[in-house]
Each structure stands twice: as C-alpha cells, then as structure tokens.
Amino acid sequence: MPSGPEKLPSWRRLAKLAEGGVASEGGRLALSRTARRAAPERSLGVRVGPLLVEFSRQGINKETLAALVELAQESELPDAVEAQFRGDRINTTEDRAVLHTALRTPAHERPASDADAIEREQRRMLDFAEALRLGERVGHTGRLIRTLVHIGIGGSYLGPRLVCEALASPPGRRPPDIRFLANVDGHAIARSLAGLDPETTFFAVVSKSFGTEETLANAAAARSWLLERTLQPAALAHHFAAITANVAAAREFGIARDACFPMWDWVGGRFSVWSAVGLPLAVRIGRQGFADFLGGAHRMDRHFRSAPVERNAPMLLALAGLLNANFRGASSHAVLAYDMRLRRLPDYLQQLEMESNGKSVRTDGEASAVHTAPVIWGGEETNGQHAFHQLLHQGTRAVSADLVAVVNPAHRHAEQHERLLAHCLAQGEALERGDNAEDPHRRTPGNRPTTTILLDELTPHALGALLALYEHKVFCAGRLLQVNSFDQWGVELGKRLAPPVKQALATGVVQPETDPTTAALLDAIRARRSRK
C-alpha cells in the first residue's frame, strides 16, 4: 500500500468524480448539474439487528460507491480489521494491541492468552456492582449506599456518563443515584458533593495510570471530604473503588484490594466502557443489562467482520465521512440526537473521533496530505433546530450530519414522539433537497449529506451496537487516512507546560524563561485576585 492515501488509484478516481460532480464553492457544498442528474443509490440502508443505518442521503451513486469500495480494498481494510481482532500490535507508536472488542466477545472466542483473566475480572466487577446495587455492600456504619460518584475524565467519563444517562434501570429495587465528576474546576466537585451524606456515598476512581492530574485531584478532595466528616480513616476502604492498571498506587491511596479492578494496556480510555470502567452502568442496569450491552456491541462486531464493504455499516460510515471531508469541502460533522436520552452522544463522539483521528502525521511518520478528522459537534433535537440548523441549511461552510432517532420510545406520549420523528425525517429531506425559492433570502441549496440511524428501541443491546458502530467507523477512517487512531500525543505538551504555571500561581514567582504572554496573564491574575 503506498504511503499516503492520495497516491492510490481509487483516490484519484474519486478526485476525478468530484471534479465532474462535486465542487466546493466559497466553502459551500454544491453538486453540479451532472451530479444532480446522477441518481444516488436508494438502497443504501444497512440493517444490523436493532439498528438501521441509512446512507441514501449521502448522494453516493453507483460510480462513487464503486470507487469508495475500491479505496477500502486498496487500503487493505478487511485485512486490517482481522489484524485488530487477532491482537496484532496495530497501535504502532505505543507498540500495543487494540483489543477492547475482546471484552464483549463470548468466552470461547476470546484470545487464549487473556480469556481467563477477562472472564475472572468481569465476573468480579459484576459481583461488586450487584452488591452495590442490591445493598449488600454498605458504608462503614452499615447504612446502604445511596449515591455513587464516578470520578474520571476523557474516555473514563464520557462513555459511562452517556450510557448511564441513556439507559433506564430495570423494574425492582432502585439502585444508587449516579453522579459524574470530571473537571478539575472546584465548582464541579462542589456540585457533585452537594447534599450528599458521607455514610451513604461511594466513589469510583478511574485512571489507567492512577496519575491523571484532574482525576487524582478530585479523588483526593473526595477523600478529604469523607475523612473530615467521618473522622475514621478506616471508612475509606468502605467507600472507594479504583479502576486502574496501577493497583499499587490505588492501594497506597487507601483503596481496598478487593475494590481495585484492572485496566489492560490493550484497552484505550475512549474504548473502555466495556471494561470495569462501565461499573456505574452495571450498577444502574444490573448484570443482565450489562450482558445485553456487551451483546449488542458483539453483534456489531460480527457484522463488521463479515459484511462486504458495500454492505458494511461501519465501513460505509467511514467512507462517507472521508468523501465529505476530502472531496466535498465538509470541515465539520454534526451529530443530531433526536432522543433526549442520547443528548450526550455528540460529546462522546467528539472525543472518540477527534482524539482518535485528529492527526496530521501518518503512521509512517510523514505529514498527511489529506484532511483527517473533521470537527465533531451537535446537540439534542429538536432544540438544535432552533439554535444552529440555520447554519446547516444556509451557511457558507459545508457540514455533514448524522441524524439519530429511536422508533419506539419509553413513554406513552405518542403525539410528541411522532412530532419528534417527523422532524428528524423532515430535516434529513430538507438538508438533501433544498428549496429553490424565488426570494434569495429563503433559498436553501440542499445537497447537505446526511446519514440517518434508527434504533428500534433504546435498550442496552441497541446502545451497545450503536457505540460499537462508531468505534469501528473510527478504526476504518484511521486506516483509510493512514493515521494511528489509538494514540493521542497531541495533548502532552499542554500537560508538561501546566506544572510551572501552577507553581507561579502558588508562589507569585514568574521564572525568566516563562512565555511573555503567560507571564503577563499571571500578572493580571495576581493583580485582580481576591485576598479572601
């Protein structure tokens, strides 16, 4: 495979097709008359269990689809998929395998080297979650745990928060309330701890290294809050758990050995919700619900490995994204959640896609000559229709979009739900069709490419399948663009620069080598700082 996707014959073919059919005019996506006459494929809906992924509004005709399939084959995408599932060290910059999929694979299909450990630790985590859920694990005074505070950031937070807010607890005993604490901002921990009783509060600290600055600062503040109110150091062991690869550090922090759960080095943070990082979800929906969540993801895994490119939902998502970003001028991608339970989906996908593929260097160490990850954003609908859809329809910047909806709601307000679904379908049609109104101020160009994803119901199984769909999309995009989707070196510089700035804030001493703008801002902060 040549270094750089732009050197592949299929890429050049797509560029030629774009010249004849798709142009970027002043940042706008516009199809030429030739492209408008070339009917898009109307049978690009792919059904995977409870999900329908409909690509027909991507404006992909037979010739373009053939070129995209050719690009996947020339990029050796099917072989790369098997290499990932086989456990090859595809994270080349960190020399690691990428095996989060093994966590949701039936025991007899897992890699032999890890099968026993996965089974053992998964059972131990689920036993622990059930004990919290059913009131069998209590606080240091014997009172039931009423609130679980999950402390993590990035992938240790975005995935668990999404799934816990999206899924309802099954009928029966009410599980502990779940709160999430991520930001190092003191307002965040003040809000998370407000109104809590230390005797009935439990903390789960999630950090692979047990050294993540924000997470450890919040965990230390939570520990102080607990000890100051109980005056019993022994209480710590009854109110904390850790999910980490650094058990020694967690033990030193004061967490009991039986409350420490592993994170393997072959599970990246943004792919970790299937692991013990999913503890709050297991507490919320129970053992069977968590098994259904894993089962939905595994169903998507099977589809991903077996379906041909032209009927493979994750591969088509990635190919459509590449087409829009590199040949249609779409620099950003909106995720429009037509179900309020999925309102956290844009935040989750923002990290999953931008941290994975927001790279400017290829896997061979050379600069990329193509557009990699777009900006991911979006929101809860129909709220977004009254906030930012104006830009989607008439703005000068091309934006592609995913519209995600649920066919059968979990409420009995049928009229509201029909209105919601009607708006979802109408927005997709309006973005594609446009309106050639006589008044130029009312005119909308259309040809905005969208994918519609319909879930039969928002169940653990369906949500597991949806998240796995996007995980595999990200992997495919990275392979097609020839970037490593499983590192994040770009975030390291800011981390290294922060400690001396913190030291200057604490001491008031600005070192001579400090950046001039940073020094000036430090002076401004010091001059206006309250002395209270």
Owner of token pair 């890429």: 11
Amino acid at 499: P
Tell me: pLDDT of 24 over 70.
no
Q: Which of 355, 380, 381, 471 is catalytic?
A: 355
- Asked whether 350 and 370 are in contact (CB, 8 A), the reply is no
C-alpha span between 452 and 440 (Å, rounded): 29
Q: Which of 16, 62, 413, 495 is catalytic?
A: 495
Exposure string of 259-268, with b = 16+ CB inside 10 Å and e = fewer, is bbbbbbebbb
Residue 247: band (very low, low, confident or very high) from pLDDT cuts 50, 70, 90: very high
Please tell me whether residue 41 adopts helix, strand or coil conformation: coil
Cβ partners under 8 Å of residue 197, min gap 6: 146
Domain ranges of the chain: 5-74+307-487, 100-288, 492-528
DSSP state of 386: G
Tell me: pLDDT of 29 over 50.
no
CATH of range 5-74+307-487; options 3.40.50.300, 3.40.50.10490, 3.30.230.10, 3.30.499.10: 3.40.50.10490
- Do domains 5-74+307-487 and 100-288 share one topology? The answer is yes
- Higher-scoring residue by pLDDT: 96, 115: 96
Residue 335: band (very low, low, confident or very high) from pLDDT cuts 50, 70, 90: very high
Task: Specify the fold of 100-288.
Answer: Rossmann fold (3.40.50)
pLDDT cut 70: percent of the chain above it: 95
Is 386 in the active site? yes
- Quote the strand ranges of 339-397, DSSP E: 375-380
- 269-306 pLDDT, tens digit per residue, is 999 999 999 999 999 999 999 999 999 999 999 999 99
C-alpha span between 333 and 355 (Å, rounded): 15
Q: Which of 108, 386, 441, 532 is catalytic?
A: 386
Length of the chain: 532
Strands 450-457 and 398-408: parallel
Is 7 in the active site? no
C-alpha span between 506 and 504 (Å, rounded): 5
- 394-443 pLDDT, tens digit per residue, is 999 999 999 999 999 999 999 999 999 999 999 999 999 999 999 999 99
| 3-state percent helix, strand, coil for the chain, nearest multiple of 5 | 55, 15, 30
Residue 25: band (very low, low, confident or very high) from pLDDT cuts 50, 70, 90: very low
Is 495 in the active site? yes
Please tell me whether residue 136 adopts helix, strand or coil conformation: coil
pTM metric for this prediction: 0.95
Q: Which of 303, 255, 250 is nearest to 101 (CA)?
A: 303
User: Quick one: pLDDT at residue 23?
Assistant: 35
C-alpha span between 464 and 163 (Å, rounded): 9
- 101-121 pLDDT, tens digit per residue, is 999 999 888 887 888 999 999
C-alpha span between 325 and 24 (Å, rounded): 11
User: Quick one: pLDDT at residue 108?
Assistant: 85
Overall average pLDDT of the 183-208 stretch: 98
Amino acid at 529: R
Instruction: Take residue 106 and report the two structure tokens written for it.
Output: 């039936």
